[in-house]
Amino acid sequence: MNIKILTPEYVVFEGEVDSVLLPGKDGEFHIMKNHAGIVSSLVGGKVKLFTSSIGEAYAKNFTKESEKDTVFSYPIKSGVVEFNHDKGIILCE
């Protein structure tokens, strides 16, 4: 599935991932391939991408959660996510 993470200043990430874990108002929620369409607000926390690797252009924006795992995190203050047809856009600050 394709995920794009945007801030007002720049594109944080754009590419294919296996899934994404997001900080929602009522707790974290996981979006996987073929997930139903969703629009949700996000609160402060970490956006976690589950993927084998992140392109060199975007790697500086992320922290690798573990050496063994393929989980990369990006801290946000707030935001919104729209996901439909295996494409997601995360607008955040």
Q: How far apart are CA 93 and CA 90, in angstroms?
A: 10
Six token digits for residue 85: 């047809």
Domains of the chain (ranges, CATH numbers): 2-92 (2.60.15.10)
> For residue 63, what pLDDT is reported?
94
Each residue's pLDDT, cut to its tens digit, for the chain (93 residues) gives 999 999 999 999 999 999 999 999 999 999 999 999 999 999 999 999 999 889 899 999 999 987 777 999 999 999 999 999 999 999 999
| Helix (H), strand (E) counts: the chain | 1, 10
Distance, first Cα to last Cα, the chain: 23
Six token digits for residue 12: 């944080």
- Strand (E) or helix (H) holding 58: helix 56-59
Report the SS3 class of residue 71: strand
